[in-house]
Amino acid sequence: MSSNLSGIGMTSQRTRMRMIERLRELGIADEAVLNVMYEIPRHIFVEEALASRAYDDTALPIGFQQTISQPYVVARMIELLIKGRELGTTLEVGAGCGYQTAVLAMLERQVFALERIDALLGRARKNLAQLRLGYVRLKHADGNFGLPEAAPFDTIIVAAASSSVPQALLEQLAPGGRMLLPLGPSAVGGQTLCMLERNDVGVVETRYDAVRFVPLVAGVE
């Protein structure tokens, strides 16, 4: 391992453990999720100048007006998606710098992730290459259309807010599958985590926490 990964100073095991303790205090109880988030060096996903804040429970800028998601939100979303089952074949929309992709890939063997900003995707690739992960496929694409060639998905996790459910994503949800997305306007407030589960009869919707995500934007750049 390079010294960048070995965990020195602010990026030490103790600092990481504090983040995990914080997640527990906030109610995260899934040991698999907590373990994986302890293992993954979040500091390699942010710029060096921000590395000392990498284990704070906060979103941080990653350039291009985007952010690395707050650890609690990553943990909360994956905990809701995994509850009582396995993630199975998973699609992430909005890979950003690849942090959540890494968490998913350490929990599940088949992970696909889409990102609309090519430069960010390049960074995600570089970051993920530093970790030993299972099968992750990253693609430069507009996540509104999902990934038909790899569908159906047991899990779809959307990391950007939209005012309505993208129909293509719903269509790519497997029987018994779960999709979790922030629904609502991208202006401050107003977004809610929304779970959609496909069962024998149709799709069941459950609303969870109020959240604040960057907007799901159409097209690629």
Catalytic residue positions? 69
Q: Which one-letter amino acid corresponds to residue 34?
A: L
For position 120 contacting ligand SAH by CB under 6 A, the verdict is: yes
The minimum distance between CB 94 and ligand SAH, in angstroms, equals 2
Nearest alpha carbon to residue 4 among 134, 136, 97, 131: 131
Q: Which of 78, 95, 147, 169 binds ligand SAH (CB under 6 A)?
A: 95
Kindly report the length of the chain.
221
Q: Which of 37, 44, 82, 93 binds ligand SAH (CB under 6 A)?
A: 93
- For residue 103, CA distances in Å to 8, 56, 162, 193 come to 21, 17, 23, 19
- C-beta of residue 11 within 8 angstroms of C-beta of residue 1: no
Q: Which of 159, 180, 181, 211 binds ligand SAH (CB under 6 A)?
A: 159
For position 41 contacting ligand SAH by CB under 6 A, the verdict is: no
> Residue with structure tokens 């590395």?
51
Between strands 203-211 and 153-158, the pairing is: unpaired
Q: Which one-letter amino acid corresponds to residue 96?
A: G
For position 36 contacting ligand SAH by CB under 6 A, the verdict is: no
Q: Which of 23, 37, 68, 193 binds ligand SAH (CB under 6 A)?
A: 68
- Residue number with CB closer to ligand SAH (163 or 199): 163
User: What φ, ψ does residue 122 adopt, rounded to 5°?
Assistant: -60, -40
- Residue number with CB closer to ligand SAH (106 or 214): 214
Q: Which of 37, 46, 54, 67 binds ligand SAH (CB under 6 A)?
A: 67
- C-beta of residue 196 within 8 angstroms of C-beta of residue 170: yes
For position 81 contacting ligand SAH by CB under 6 A, the verdict is: no
> Residue with structure tokens 């040991």?
31
Q: Which of 88, 94, 146, 182 binds ligand SAH (CB under 6 A)?
A: 94
For position 56 contacting ligand SAH by CB under 6 A, the verdict is: no
Element (H, E) at 166: none
For position 114 contacting ligand SAH by CB under 6 A, the verdict is: yes
Please give the residue ranges that form the binding site for ligand SAH (CB under 6 A).
66-69, 93-97, 99-100, 114-117, 120, 142-144, 159-160, 214, 216-217
